[in-house]
Amino acid sequence: MDTVTGNDENHLTNGVDGYFGLCPHCHKHDGYVNIGKGHWFVCHEHKVMWFVGSNLFSSWKDQTEEGQRRYYDERGLDSYKHLELEQVYTPPEVYERGEDLYPGTGIILNKGN
């Protein structure tokens, strides 16, 4: 995994947990990027991204629109294919676990916020 410059605090790095789905090609992800309040998980190798929700993580509040746009442009995210959720791979153990915690990060999903 390469180092991301710029607005990279939005980058979760434990890329093999499937709570938010995984790339259907490699069953990994490279974290997420924020677009506005929305969170998109990405696989840079296969140039795919998928939307998981808005305002689940507070990270977008610390980012500027300019910073987000710069990151988007630097990574060339406009060339990425947007996957429908049914195209995203979710490992069976994620369904079985059914937790509201993103493993390895301590991030509790506060859906009511």
**Residues near Zn ion (CB under 5 A):** 23, 25-26, 43, 45-46
Question: Which residue, 66 or 84, has its beta carbon nearer to Zn ion?
Answer: 84
Write down the least CB distance from residue 34 to Zn ion, Å. 20
Distance CA 107, CA 84 (A): 24
Write down the least CB distance from residue 26 to Zn ion, Å. 3
Sign of CA dihedral 52, 37, 58, 31: positive
Question: Which residue, 23 or 56, has its beta carbon nearer to Zn ion?
Answer: 23
**Of residues 24, 56, 17, 15, the one with CA closest to residue 37:** 56
Write down the least CB distance from residue 62 to Zn ion, Å. 27
Question: Which residue, 20 or 60, has its beta carbon nearer to Zn ion?
Answer: 20
Residue 40 makes CB contacts below 8 A (sequence gap 6+) with 32, 33, 34, 49, 50, 51, 52
Write down the least CB distance from residue 80 to Zn ion, Å. 11
State the pairing for strand pair 48-54/81-82.
parallel
Question: Which residue, 40 or 60, has its beta carbon nearer to Zn ion?
Answer: 40
